[in-house]
Homo-oligomer: A and B are copies of this chain.
Amino acid sequence: MTHLPYDPYNRNCPTRKLLDRIGDRWTVLIVGALGEGPQRFGEIARRVDGVSQKMLTQTLRGLERDGLVRRTVFAEMPPRVEYALTPVGQTLREPLRALEDWAREYMADIEGARDVYDDAAVNVA
C-alpha cells in the first residue's frame, strides 16, 4: 500500500494548521482590511462590519502573535494604536484575493443551487 503524495488531511499538516489559523469569522476579513494599508483600531472596527470590540482585539492579538500583523502604540493622549501587515502578512493577501475572486464569480451560482435544493426538499415534505 503506497502512501499519498503528501497528506493535507492528516492532523498537524500545514494546511490543517492554516485552517485553524484563518478559519474563524474575522481573521480573513481583518487581513483584507489591513491589506489596504496600516490602520488604527477604530478604523478597522468601522470598516469590518459587525466585529465586536472583543473579537477585533482578540483577532488582532492572534495575528500579531503569529507575526502577520505589527502593532504600534504611540505614546499619546488619547492613545493611538496602529496595525499593519508584516511582510509575511502581505504574502497572505494573494491567496486570499484568489478566494475573493472566486467568491465574486461563483457565489451567485452557489446560492442558486441552494435555492433549487431547498425547494426540492420542500416539495418532498
| Interface residues, chain A, with chain B CB atoms under 8 Å away | 4, 7-11, 14-19, 21, 23-25, 28-29, 32-33, 47-50, 64-68, 88, 91-92, 94-96, 98-114, 116-118
Contact = CB atoms under 8 A, between A and B. Distances in A.
Given A29-B16, A113-B67, A98 B94 contact: yes
B113 A65 contact: yes
Contact of A9 (B23, B29, B91, B105): B29
A102 B17 CA distance: 11
A91 B109 CA distance: 12
A61 B47 CA distance: 34
A111 B16 CA distance: 13
Nearest to A23: B23
A14 B49 contact: no
A4 B66 CA distance: 28
Contact of A109 (B9, B33, B67): B67
A99 B16 CA distance: 11
A91 B106 contact: yes
A15 B99 contact: yes
A88 B106 contact: yes
